[in-house]
A and B are shown apart, each in its own frame.
Chain A
Amino acid sequence: MSNFRRPINRRSLLKAGAASGLVLATPTIITRNAWADTNFRNDPTNSKSVTFGFNVPQTGAYADEGADELRAYQLAVKHLNGEGDGGMLNTMKPLSLEGNGILGKKVEYVTGDTQTKSDAARASAKRMVEKDGVIMWSGGSSSGVAIAQQSLAQEMGIVFMCGLTHSNDTTGKDKRRYGFRHFFNAYMSGAALGPVLEKQMGKDRRAYHLTADYTWGWTQEESIANTTEGLGWETVNKVRTPLGAGDFSQYIAPVLNSGADVLILNHYGKDMINSLTQAVQFGLRDKLVNGKNFEIIVPLYSRLMAQGAGENIKGIYGTTNWNWSLQDEGSKAFVKSFGQEYGFPPSQAAHTCYVQTLLYADACERAGTFNPAEVIKALEDHQFDGMGNGPTLYRGADHQCFKDVLVVKGNENATSRFDLLEVVEVTPSAQVTYDPEIFGGELGPYKV
């Protein structure tokens, strides 16, 4: 380890002015020794509190999703510090947290803007680590950004708890020891969708893919095509579309006469809202092909996407990590707690971020230390329940959570403006579990 890495222990901008003199005056010899084996970056041992970093998109297309994530994080911090009604702390099993912070230290937090850009997200994360002294950071709304932050986490020796990221690569070929994902992935979407599609649409179908032309799109296209081809469906075509194309009509028009009777949209966010809206306008849903109703599938759904696409999502199938209408104790507790704080139910992005924060805190409590090497070990292969997804395993081999996956469809009789998705089936985690070897990748060392 080099002598040039010095942990910087300043917690907040406000104190920075007063503290800066002190930090610069810290004799190098002490910090050098402090970086021994049992110690780690941003060690909060001598501090009364610990700081988390919440790095979410505050500008750009995913700003609303980021805002919802931030609400969830603030709620999680409240609950950890014993304020509010406790939310999922009441339902989490096993539970080591006591509602007095973590290991007796109060939880504080700093925020940052990822802009949904890798460079900006890493810059913001580095600020949290270098300036604000965070012990863990979390958040995000895109796989590319999550992967970029995850590798930074490994370099920095600070744990990163991914927010919303759905690419297989996050816990596949780009997995990292210091990165953890609670959210599900494209493979699991495919595996969960398979049986439902078979039941609803039969075995003799011809599918046409429109895929966002970047890594997440490709992994989802591959996973879904594997599933549908396994059912006996024929893949008519896979067409790549530019990211942020806005108008997808030139890609949708050829679908009409391609002989396909299913359109699969491997798009996310604004791209999905636009392509779905436009596909419906082309009359695809009213079409009869080969004597069957034409169907559109959106493998990854989110509530914000459903809101953006409006009427057009009615009856369209997809998967989601979690939905507020679930009736288990954990979900009910979380929805109630979130709704009372903010006046509306949480999104799946909010849920995964909330859960990630609690899981990290719980792991520290169980490990009895903030030392990331120990916390990581406590998270790996940890089994828990009561967090809204049923019994869940945080698999040690790839840092992916395995839990039930929800197959949903756009609600045709919504009772409120949040009641957009109807849960069609809860696919048990056993059906979506896979061998970690299939995606390769290398986690890397515990100590960096």
Chain B
Amino acid sequence: MEILNVSNVNKRFGGLKALDEVNLSVEQGHVHAIIGPNGAGKSTLLNCFVGRLIPDSGSVTFLGKDLIGAKPHEINQIGVSRVFQTPEIFGDLTLLDNIMIPTLAKRDGAFSLNAWARVDGLGEIRDKALHMLEDVGLAEKKGMIADSLSRGDKRRLELAMCLVQDPKLLLLDEPTAGMSRADTNNTIDLLKRIGERGITKIVIEHDMHVVFSLASKISVLAQGTVIAEGKPEDIKGDPRVQEAYLGGAHV
């Protein structure tokens, strides 16, 4: 079943054509990787999915709902979560708070004037958040201030913040960039485990090791257009892809 449909999306920045008639179809339960050289428009495309950018033309639908013009929080509320290239977390709050906030957002919706309850009385939410922290291996740091985490831990925290919401579609913008090999492998394991929950994922990634360990389908973006699409093994051998990368990556 198709979960996300992108058709004929165009986006210009001044004279630069960032996205040129992009078409994409993401199937439920798949891990769909988007690869391509720097400046190919990968992040721009992701921004069009979450309401950060509005395409000049074309349509983006998620489970039949039009995403264009919708606000970021509305898009999240219908089941799309995103991990950023540089982790976006609540830096001055504790790890536990960082997880509890998305948990509450899932339960109470985009706004709730819940000023009379006590956070420390929210047993169920708290347990769920603690559980999530354990899942990503941050449980013993739950009382720490998020800004004091290492970069890798911050990424894991952000991932946990998205996962705790049980999204239908998870967008990952270079989830392992800047991580050590060991951390990268941990993250791959983690993402695979999520796969078992049936969360559809779109991954932007440079690291082909990550791409080929995770992806069930790959789209290659170059200069704003999709130049190739298919299963990992097909893409590996595609000459257009190799040309696009000019041997710059270990394909």
Do any CB atoms of chain A lie under 8 A from CB atoms of chain B in the complex? Answer: no
A interface residue numbers (CB < 8 A to B):
none
B interface residue numbers (CB < 8 A to A):
none
